[in-house]
Structures are given as C-alpha cells and as structure tokens.
Structure 1
Amino acid sequence: MVVTEKLDGGNTLLHAGEVYSRSIAAPSCGKWMAMVKKHHAWKVDEADVYLYGEDIYGVHSITYEPVAEHETFRAFALRDGDGAFAAFADVEAYAKRLAIPVVPVLFKGVFPSVREARAFVEHAHREPSVLGGEREGVVLRLARRFPAKEFRDNVCKSVRIGHVQTDRHWTRNWRPCELAAPGRQGG
C-alpha cells in the first residue's frame, strides 16, 4: 500500500502539453491553472501519458503555508495509453525525471490487518497537513500497477468530516494561494 495526503486542490490532468480540469474534453483556461501551465504542463508531452495531480494554486477550503510557485501542482497518478495506472514507484520516478513534485507520501508498506489500516487513517486525519494548515484527508492505493477499469478496487479516499466548508463553488470568488518568496523553499 501507499498512503498519500489528499490535498485540497483541483484534480488536474497533464497530457500532451496541455492542462485539463477533471475532463479531457477541452484544455482548461481557468486562471487558477497559471502555475501548472507555466511550470509543468509543457513537460508532459507524450501522446500516451496522462499525469494526474492536485493543483493547490487556487485556494478551495484549506489555506496552506506559502508554497513555491513550481510546487503548487503535486502529481499523484500516471496512466498510460494502455489504460493502466502505473505503480506508485513509477509515478515518483517519472515526476522526479521531469522535476514535478509528488503529493506528500505518508506511508509505504503492508498493513497487517484492516484494523491497523483503519487506525493509521484515523491517526492521519488528526495530524496537520505536511504543507501546513489542516489536512483534508488521505488516499490509499495499491503500490503496484493496475488497469484503469479496476480503479475502484485499488484506490480509496478518506476526507475530513465536512470537508466542503463553503456554500459557493471556490471558482466564483477564487483567490491564489500564498506563494513563497522567490529563492525560498515552499511547503
């Protein structure tokens, strides 16, 4: 298993040099995609590679500590043209090769029982975000490669109670996250 922090951002896809938000019907033109376009979209130019991540440049419900502008997008999954999600180690290797940050990893290994996995998740929910501020949740996934059609059987998301804490969609009055001063390492 791999357990990563579920960041409070926009689920974003980088594919063939473009940025997509939730759907590959058309590239996103939202201003909240400015940093991922500037720093990373152009790097993922293969026609058969789909890199998914959370983009925290546009603040949703949680305000994190200041982050370097090239770290507002954090990769969490890689899908290939064959319709399979890569092993998490391959996600990390691909992202490292392209200098793209990965979501915070909280655990890699084997849980001896469901009870111990559940206890880990409950404890993780009580901890603050690795990026500062409140933690939105965690994502559990198998470490190995698996077919996209088996996604529901291999990935589980757990978010904090009441994780949507606004009555209007964040894009209605969007604001950028606080960026770290140039030369300073972000969260």
Structure 2
Amino acid sequence: MSVSRKYGRTYHYPFSPGTTSDDRINADYWSDVLRMKQIVHTEKLDGENNCLSRYGVFARSHAAPTVSAWTKAIRQHWESIKNDLGDVEIFGENLYAIHSIEYRKLEHHYYVFAVRQHDMWLGWDEVKFYAGLFDFPTVPEIKTATPEREEQLRDEVLTLARQHSVLESYDIRTNEPCTREGIVTRNTEAYPVNDLAHHVFKYVRKGHVKTDEHWTRHWRRAKLVWEFSHH
C-alpha cells in the first residue's frame, strides 16, 4: 500500500506532437473545456514530478519516499515544512538536475503546478496560495482564457508552444535557445482527483527528450539565475 497516491496521467491534446506509445490522448477535450468557466495555460517545465506530503518527498513511485541525489535540496526544504503540510500534498517540477532543457533564469529549483487535498485537486488560486505559503514559485502562468471556439484554443496553444520559456530555455545538445517543452492547460477551478483527465491537458513538442538511460550517472545541477555571469 502506498503512503500516498501518485499523480495521475495528464492526457495530451490530440494535436500534441510529443506523444509516445504509452501516452494517452483526450480526443474529446473540447467538450470538457466547454464546461469550464475559465482555463489557465501554464508552462510545462522539464524536470521531475516531485510530491511533498507530510510522509516525505516522492518521485514517480509513491510506494516509498525518493532518496535520489538530485532531490537532496528539496528534501532539506521539506524538513522545514513537513509539520505544517497537514493533509495538503504539493506537486511540483524539480529542476535541480538538468534534463533536456537548461533554464538560465531559474530563481528556485522547485516550481509548484498542483496541490491535492483529500480527493480534490485545488483551484489554481489555491495552488498559488500554498506555493507562496511554503516559499515556492509556481510554474509560469502564461495566460488565462475563456475560449469560445475550439480553433481559437488550438491556435492559442500552438502559438504559446512555439515561444521560448519564460525561464530562458536552451537545448542541452546545441546550447542554442529553444522553444519551451510544452503547455499545460487546466481548469482554474478545483476538481475531483479521479476526474484529472477531464480538467488538464498538455501539449508537448516533438522529439523533446534528449537524455538517455545513462542520464542518472552523468547528471548536472542546474544553475540558478544569479550563478550565470551576465556580462
């Protein structure tokens, strides 16, 4: 029995090119969007999904807390907040280790994207509230919208996906600026944990992953913005 439930899968938009064989697609996303008062587009960051709960820091598996070298910093931060978490579970993108994108404007190594409490995923305003309470940034919020037409939403996502990251994204292979990894769109309101697939959708660019199975042996720590020498 896991101490905590892992994060469900985020379904892709049908026009998301970065799907792999085990990804799921929500072909009916538009009828889901029509039931929402408002959506928010956030930037999909290239890190590891880490959950902070009173029981520990968890990576993909929630069977036991993670002990990886690149979660050491977030585990230290967790020590100082664990007794205040109560029944709140914070989910964020841990960017301590560089994956396929290097970000040059990181002000922190952990960016919150969701907060779970019991059987609910909290609304976006509450996510921002809890992130601030525990001294974390949230993933970049790009735009809130109330789409009226499916083409309008699709065009918006495609346009946003072609831009560079708010945190300055560089391709690790070429060292050149690159587009952001993708866009995650969510309902700004709270929704039941079991309904995740109908409230959150993602767009991931094609051929995004540049790391291989030896990644964990040669990983590098991501520098924070003030560690880069700006001439």
TM superposition score normalised by structure 1: 0.89
CA distance in structure 2 between the partners assigned to 1:88 and 1:176 by the alignment = 29
Matched, 1:63 2:108: no
3-state DSSP class of the match of 2:209? coil
Change (3 A) 1:152 1:177: same
Q: For 1:17-42, what per-residue CA distance to the aligned partner results, in whole angstroms no more than 9, with x for missing partners?
A: 62110222111111111222233564
Partner in structure 2 of residue 128 of structure 1: 164
Q: For 1:113-135, what per-residue CA distance to the aligned partner results, in whole angstroms no more than 9, with x for missing partners?
A: 11111111111111000110131
Structure 1: unaligned runs, 5 residues or longer: none
Q: Count residues with an aligned counterpart.
A: 180
Partner in structure 2 of residue 115 of structure 1: 151
CA contact (8 A) 1:66 1:177 kept: no
3-state DSSP class of the match of 1:29? coil
CA RMSD, Structure 1 to Structure 2 (Å): 1.8
CA distance in structure 2 between the partners assigned to 1:41 and 1:156 by the alignment = 32
Q: What percent of counterpart residues are identical? A: 35
3-state DSSP class of the match of 2:101? coil
Partner in structure 2 of residue 162 of structure 1: 207
Matched, 1:15 2:60: no
CA contact (8 A) 1:85 1:147 kept: yes
3-state DSSP class of the match of 2:89? strand
CA contact (8 A) 1:44 1:51 kept: no
The CA deviation at 1:7 is 0.2
Matched, 1:138 2:174: no
TM superposition score normalised by structure 2: 0.73
Partner in structure 2 of residue 72 of structure 1: 109
3-state DSSP class of the match of 1:106? strand
The CA deviation at 1:169 is 5.2
CA contact (8 A) 1:59 1:170 kept: no
CA contact (8 A) 2:99 2:210 kept: no
CA contact (8 A) 1:58 1:174 kept: yes
Partner in structure 1 of residue 91 of structure 2: 52
The CA deviation at 1:164 is 1.3
Which among 139, 155, 174 is matched to residue 103 of structure 1? Answer: 139
3-state DSSP class of the match of 1:116? helix
